[in-house]
Structure 1
Amino acid sequence: MAPRSSGRIRAVHRPGIAHRRGAFRRGRVGIALLGLVALLAAACGGGGRTEASQEGVTLTMWTRAATQAQSERLVEAYNRSHKNQVKLTVVPTDNYQARIAAAAGAGQLPDIFAADVIFVPNYVSQGLYLDITDRIATLPYKDSLAPSHMRMGTLDGRQYTLPHTLDLSVWFWNKDLYEKAGLDPEQGPKTLKEFAEHATTIDEKLGGDGKVHGTFFGGNCGGCYVFTFWPSVWAAGGEVMNAEGTESFNDRPEMAEVFAIWRDLYEKGATGPTAREEQGPTWTGFFAKGEIGVMPMPSTTLGTMPPDLEIGVAPIAGPDGGESTFVGGDSIGISATSEHADAAWEFLAWTVSDEAQIEIMAKNKDVLARTDLTENKYSAEDPRVALINSLVAKGRTPYALRFGQTYNDPQGPWLSLAREAMFGDPAKVPQLNAEVTKSLQQ
């Protein structure tokens, strides 16, 4: 799914029925595609069925728990100020893909549903979303919508989704621990090598009690690796796979150098004793406790940090500089079988309006879905928020129809490669990289 540096991705061939089943699995979650095809045909070729009146409509909307807070704020504000209403259902994140697959197969999708941006290309290629290209074209700020999210919701030149919530990977550093270790608390790392130096210094000077560590990472979490390590590759001018998401480049020198720097930190003990076993659920919790000097973190955690924790924020850099970020979060669209397409679009368009983006998202320190609103009255109050928003236009959202099976699945080939590079025999990486490519191409 890695988009090209030019900002465009090649059109993806619509996969056949057998291939589509594989694309919809978390591990191996399937979908009743034959029934779905019939349902979409009944929806007049994906154009969406509409009522004569689109006023006083109650729309159904689903989102995953990971973006519950932002979704609830948007829905509540919309419902207070509009005649149409949105009824939000929050689905546990781990169950979300299976829930969408089952609902699509049964013809019971909600009017609107958000999805992890990584999986949006699967849903688009399946025809689950309504084509909203012409509607998007009417937005005066259409060219300022988060580029990575917009690319992921585009197929054959047609657009199907808007950005809903954004979560970027950045470096946080603990200013108090920096000062205690003799580092400048106002100067975070500007390169990955400097990051390693800072982490080592903090661990050596403050880690004697076993509570403070230089850094931390999710060593047994495939998604954690891609979210925090890949930006260093991009910042160094490298790529992790081809634009079509069918060939892995994780055996190339740029990735090898990133792994080597992190492996050295682990072998020194600067990452803490539990990094190797960390599977993801608790990997961000240690920084909030004031126990970590510097580490990659999701930008959305900034607003949840203890108020007395002095935190600096920096872009993720390559070994020798540059900057990038993994642009995660959710996109949102209208289901292809919705009978309220006009009303649903009214809600979607409102969520990316100045009012919603500034008074709801920016006010709560959320990352904005529009690059033209990076500088606003709320971000001006916190330079860290302004910096995070500025990275939206620079970051990447990797593109691959089989991203989940390949990179997120604990039994997938990517985690085996990453753990061998970090804790085992790096000489095995080329062979394991071939397995990653094989998985991408299935």
Structure 2
Amino acid sequence: MLFTLFIGSILLVACSSKDSKESKGNSEVTEITYWQYTFPTKVEQIDKIIADFEKENPDIKVVAQDFPYDQYQNKIFAAVEAGDRPDILNIYNGWISKYVDMDYIQPIREEFMSKEEISDYYVDMIQPYELDGEFYTLPVAVRSLALFWNKDMYKEAGLDPESPPKTWEELIENAKAMTEMTDDGRYKKEGFGWNAAGQGLHEFQQVLLRQYGVEPYSEDASKVLWNEKQEGYDAFKYWLDMTMVHKIGDPDVGNTYREAFLAGIAGMIVDGSFAVGDIQNASFDWGVTTLPVLEEGGLQSNYASYWTNAIAKGVEGKKLEASERFLAYLIQEDVQKDWLENVGELPASKALIADEELVNDPTYGPFIEGLDYAHATFFVNEDKERQIIIDGVDKIRLEDADYDETFDEIVTKIQEVRDEFFNKQ
């Protein structure tokens, strides 16, 4: 409530500023730039938000640019090197600590939004990214994971299309029933879109590890604890066995796990709420449910993440004021509601995420429930850490490397990445 009033006051000041400047002509217009990666529904929504914002704030012009995901960070790095960085960057939460370390972004000013206001307004999962007593970014939305299943493939395999798996063993058995192979051992259809490059790595480190009783990281996130006890090795083997032993899915089916699902050749996938925008147009009947557990009544766990907005280091004066006014507009609850409807990501506001209609929604309800027990991985260098896992998994898949030795190598390499970061602090 307090922050709703706060946002209102920011926008009220913006309106009065607008009224006083309208008579001064376009010479008073402040132009700011907003960068994001290319995700069509997000790009369309940001364009709409900017148009609405500029109508209410004619003294500010927001120029949005988007870049393909695989080029996005390199574009940012090059712009910084050239001294031509954008004013506002939309970045993944796993990049925050790296961007702070590289001095790319500045803290949210207390005069704009205090740490207490941020904590009161937002869901708890953003708390790990309070770095050295400062918040650096403000998200519009958050994401968790859930299990999508193809009801038509369930029917074809003789399974109950209204009974998705509750445990991982049920998932494996259901997936086996839906998997079809060619005579030479290639997948025609996979029962489960197993992967390491997409949501699979989060499924392992924040879901399976925890369900096996392993805390993935130390409390300060500086130590990787995956192999501190035998259960970590067991969780890793269980995850890999889905593709290596049970052969219920493979990363190469259908280009990506989501594309395989949309093509009707993957029976189930673990994905985020952001996938709903694509999946809702699928040509088959589908459903969403919460992630499986190891056994009935066992520990539930989930992975949470978000894309978030930061003001670049060095932005000051009128550009800083304009950037803060745009962020204040961007994180309003009405904007978050529209974002859910058009993009499919969950509101980041504590109040909105508790809305009864949303909690009971058959599509978004499982994602909302997942947030209750979700964990946001504190990445120090998300790209490097992700690639280490992918490379290790491929070593096992493609070179028949030893599970335990490879797992130890993965942990050692990720620990080295974290040591490099934390030793600078």
TM bracket, shorter-chain basis: 0.7 to 0.9
**Could you tell me which amino acid in structure 2 is paired with residue 200 of structure 1?**
K
Q: Is 2:217–2:224's contact at 8 Å kept on the other side of the alignment?
A: yes
Matched, 1:175 2:151: yes
Residue 76 of structure 1: aligned partner: 48
Deviation at 1:210, TM superposition (A): 5.2
Count of paired positions:
380
- Aligned positions of 1:30-429 closer than 5 A: 56-65=29-38, 67-80=39-52, 81-83=55-57, 84-134=60-110, 135-137=112-114, 142-152=119-129, 154-203=130-179, 211-219=188-196, 221=197, 224-230=199-205, 231-251=207-227, 252-268=229-245, 270-272=247-249, 275=250, 277=252, 282-305=256-279, 306-320=281-295, 321-339=298-316, 340-374=319-353, 376=355, 379=358, 382-405=361-384, 407-409=385-387, 412=388, 414-420=389-395, 423-429=400-406
Q: Is 2:141–2:307's contact at 8 Å kept on the other side of the alignment?
A: yes
- TM-score, with length taken from structure 1: 0.75
Deviation at 1:332, TM superposition (A): 0.7
SS at match of 1:384: coil
Q: Is 1:170–1:299's contact at 8 Å kept on the other side of the alignment?
A: yes
Alignment CA distance shift 1:90-1:378 (3 Å)? farther
Deviation at 1:430, TM superposition (A): 5.3
Alignment CA distance shift 1:53-1:147 (3 Å)? farther
What's the % identity of the aligned pairs?
22
SS at match of 2:277: helix
Structure 2 spans left out of the alignment, 5+ residues: 1-19, 23-27, 421-425
SS at match of 1:291: coil
- TM-score, with length taken from structure 2: 0.78
How big is each residue's C-alpha offset from its partner over 1:11-30, in whole Å with a ceiling of 9 and x where there is no partner?
xxxxxxxxxxxxxxxxxxxx
Q: Distance in 2 between matches of 1:243 and 1:331?
A: 23
Q: Is 2:257–2:269's contact at 8 Å kept on the other side of the alignment?
A: no
Q: Distance in 2 between matches of 1:71 and 1:147?
A: 27
Matched, 1:434 2:412: yes
Q: Is 2:137–2:310's contact at 8 Å kept on the other side of the alignment?
A: yes
Q: Is 1:148–1:397's contact at 8 Å kept on the other side of the alignment?
A: yes
Deviation at 1:78, TM superposition (A): 3.5
Alignment CA distance shift 1:96-1:267 (3 Å)? closer
Q: Is 1:374–1:390's contact at 8 Å kept on the other side of the alignment?
A: no
Structure 1 spans left out of the alignment, 5+ residues: 1-51
Cα root mean square deviation, aligned: 3.4
Q: Is 1:239–1:249's contact at 8 Å kept on the other side of the alignment?
A: yes
Q: Distance in 1 between matches of 2:118 and 2:226?
A: 36
Q: Is 1:74–1:356's contact at 8 Å kept on the other side of the alignment?
A: no
Alignment CA distance shift 1:387-1:436 (3 Å)? same
